[in-house]
Amino acid sequence: MSVTAASYCVVGFQTGLNWRSLAFEKPPPAIRVCSLCGVVPRTTLVLPCSHALCEPCFAATEGKGRVCPLDGHAYDQDTVGRLQLPPDQ
């Protein structure tokens, strides 16, 4: 049986890795992939509607009235979860 690697762009890790496409043996959990742009960020912000955003995409939503760009659900800052991977992962 052959395993097909999935490629994802990563951001927020070591300088040499930022914005590079890397092949993953197994796809990362959906909660670790930005629902809007598809990058795998070191820090993922999870909205109450369960969509995950990288920091740049989240910052863009903040300027537009704190509404999920995917489903239009409004959110409060205190309802946003923050998941951060250790630098060595």
Q: What is the rounded CA–CA span in Å between residue 70 and residue 17?
A: 27
0.75 surpassed by pTM:
yes
**What pLDDT, in 10s, does the model give residues 40-78?**
999 999 999 999 999 999 998 888 889 999 999 999 999
Burial class (CB in 10 A: 0-12, 13-18, 19+), 4: exposed
CATH number for the region 6-84 comes to 3.30.40.10
Question: pLDDT band at 88, cuts 50/70/90?
Answer: low
Q: What is the rounded CA–CA span in Å between residue 40 and residue 44?
A: 8
Which DSSP helix (H) or strand (E) runs through 59?
A: helix 55-62
Segments making up each domain of the chain, as ranges: 6-84
